[in-house]
Structure 1
Amino acid sequence: MYRTIIEPRVSETDGVGHINNTTIPIWLEAARNPIFKLFTPDHSFDNWKMIILNINVDYLSQIYFGKEAEVRTWVRKIGNSSLELYEEIHQGGTLCAKGKAVYVNFNVEEQRSESIPVEIKEELEKHLYDK
């Protein structure tokens, strides 16, 4: 599992006092940076590999400014050219949001998906969801 600590910002807080629901997908994406680095080590958008196909988020509890939140990211499935992630956001011991994201390894120049290299699959397997 990958772990990322998020320090909620005032600007992410909405009129009813909790972190706005539109912020949660941004936090989930921020926690995927170690995975992005596997596919595009130099973070070059000229050679970017990870193209998102789908994201779903379930909101379970409110998240607040003033307390750090932890994003936990697992790999649920690894296919030939795609992978599915399972993600959770916790704050103060409470599961506040969970979701999934599906990505494809994409060759931008050729405009087609391509197989995930074996060495990347091996690294992703270290983070498989086992619950």
Structure 2
Amino acid sequence: MSRISYITNLEEWASSFLFQHQITVRFSETDMFGHLNNTVPFTYFEEARIEYFKSLGFMQEWVAADVDAIPVVADLQCDFLKQIFFNDKLSIHVKAEKIGNSSVDIHYMATKQDGSVCLTGRGTIVQISKSTGKPIQWAADAKNLMEKNKMLLEKK
């Protein structure tokens, strides 16, 4: 699949996700042509990313009042493969693809009920200090948790 730079083999890539979050397309998310507005997938990615981070235990720490670290989106992209319509049921899949010192490259895939891939995406999340705005390294246990999930995917 040459048009999506972060995917070498779509089937292999698609089979490497463990986490997914269910979404139903609301009427207000469609445009006058009846299909999903092109800005909405970024909201879906955000919702699924938050649920993914919750499943790892990160969100609970980030929202605590006494914690200085917060996640910020450094970049985000979406590739549209199929049209999506009102009331479609989507599974938004999320995985940590590349883990850096203070950043993580997150990949996203949306599938329809029939299993077909309709959206793909990726984005870099950076953990920063609320007080300084500078990157904060992942704690060893947080990085290990993301690495462990990545290794489970590679063994699949």
Give the TM-score of the pair, scaled to structure 2: 0.75
Task: For 1:1-131, list aligned pairs within 5 A.
Answer: 1-37=18-54, 38-41=57-60, 44=63, 47=68, 49-92=70-113, 93-128=115-150, 130=154
Indicate the RMSD between aligned Cα atoms, in angstroms: 2.0
TM superposition outliers: structure 1 runs of 4+ over 4 Å: 45-48
Q: CA deviation at 1:67?
A: 2.5
Q: Is the 8 A contact 1:40 1:48 kept in 2?
A: no
Q: What secondary structure does 1:31 align onto?
A: helix
Higher relative contact order (CA 8 A, sep 6+): 1
5+ residue gaps, structure 2: 1-17
The structure with the largest strand share of the pair is 1
Of 106-115 and 31-40, more deviation after overlay is shown by 31-40
C-alpha change, 1:82 and 1:96, in structure 2 (3 Å) is same
C-alpha change, 1:35 and 1:67, in structure 2 (3 Å) is closer
Q: What secondary structure does 2:76 align onto?
A: strand
Q: For the residues of structure 1 that align with 2:87 and 2:26, how far apart are their CA atoms?
A: 8
Deviations 1:53-94 (A, max 9, x none): 110111110111122100000110001111001100111321
Between Structure 1 and Structure 2, how many residues are aligned?
Answer: 131
Give the TM-score of the pair, scaled to structure 1: 0.88
Q: For the residues of structure 1 that align with 2:109 and 2:138, how far apart are their CA atoms?
A: 24
User: % of aligned pairs identical?
Assistant: 27
The structure with the largest helix share of the pair is 2
